[in-house]
Homo-oligomer: A and B are copies of this chain.
Amino acid sequence: VRRTQAGDLILLISADDKKFLLKLAGEGELHTHQGILQHESMIDVPLGTVVHSHLGEPFLLLRPTLQEILLNTKRKSQIIFPKDIGYILLRLSIGPGSTVVEAGTGSGALTTALAWAVGPAGRVFSYDSREDMQALARENLERLGLEGRVRLIVRDIEEGFEQRDADAVFLDLPNPHDYLAQTREALCNGGTLGSILPTTNQVAQLVRALREHGFQSIEVCELLLRFYKTLPSRLRPEDRMVAHTGYLIFGRSLHE
């Protein structure tokens, strides 16, 4: 069984099922509704240990899942939902060893998922024109110790990407149609572009531009996630659901 160490991102679950995500540091304290916990007391203990606040309240110490990490991203902007991120990773074929370019970084939720998925052998290059957003994304990545896999680049991508032969490029911008020439330069032959857009007008504009730039296998889709109430004798969907996060658009860049 793994033991925690300073720098780990951990999850604490209180007896009343509240969750706390924190990065263990030598001298920190976590203040909760059920008392204070010293970081020091949570270092070098086995995952799954029950630790106690100064009030004696129990907290279960675990490793957070990627979904818990993503939903806890510190944000200054709308983040991409886990349901969409799961499909994006699969559709862009992002896995251990992949090289992927992203613009814009935003709060870094997708950046985090990309860095997590490419593993230590992969590389993520993430562009944003705003330094403050990149600072926030860096903070989010550092909580996870993933900053080593990501290069954050402040630059107007109008000037192009620095990378060539990337496996995938993801454009999370209002006007991806303006950067398709730059995207094709950065992608390997057969590499995939992805994008997410909220409005049908933007989708139509991007699809038109993808055709003009010679992208193939263009796909537009949307994912609807419906949750169910979990009473087994009264199984039924929840009353309300998210009706829209964004349309997902994909295309393959083929040279020759």
- A: residues with CB less than 8 A from B are 1, 11, 13, 17, 47-48, 50, 60, 62-63, 65-67, 82-83, 85-93, 95-97, 113, 116-121, 165, 188-190, 192, 198-201, 203-205, 207-208, 211, 216, 218-244, 247, 254-256
Contact = CB atoms under 8 A, between A and B. Distances in A.
A211 B232 contact: yes
A151 B239 CA distance: 33
B96 A119 contact: yes
A81 to B, nearest CB: 10
B239 A244 contact: yes
B96 A87 contact: no
A243 B244 contact: no
13 contacts: A1-B189, A48-B189, A48-B255, A60-B254, A67-B90, A83-B87, A86-B86, A86-B91, A90-B113, A95-B119, A96-B118, A228-B247, A241-B241
Contacts of A241: 240-243
Nearest to A243: B241
Contacts of A48: 188-190, 255-256
* Number of identical monomers bound together in the oligomeric complex: 4
A205 B201 CA distance: 11
Given A86-B87, A201-B233, 18 more contacts: A65-B91, A65-B92, A66-B90, A85-B90, A86-B86, A87-B225, A89-B90, A90-B113, A200-B203, A200-B204, A219-B230, A220-B230, A220-B235, A223-B225, A224-B224, A238-B244, A240-B243, A241-B243
A1 B242 CA distance: 42
Contacts of A228: 203, 220-222, 247
A207 B230 contact: yes
Contacts of A113: 90
B119 A93 contact: no
Contacts of A232: 204-205, 207-208, 211
Nearest to A210: B230
Contacts of A83: 87, 223
Give the one of A11, A92, A205, A236 with max B CB within 10 A: A236
A226 B240 CA distance: 11
A121 B243 CA distance: 38
Contact of A190 (B62, B207, B237, B242): B62
Given A190-B47, A221-B227, A240-B242, A235 B87 contact: no
Nearest to A189: B48
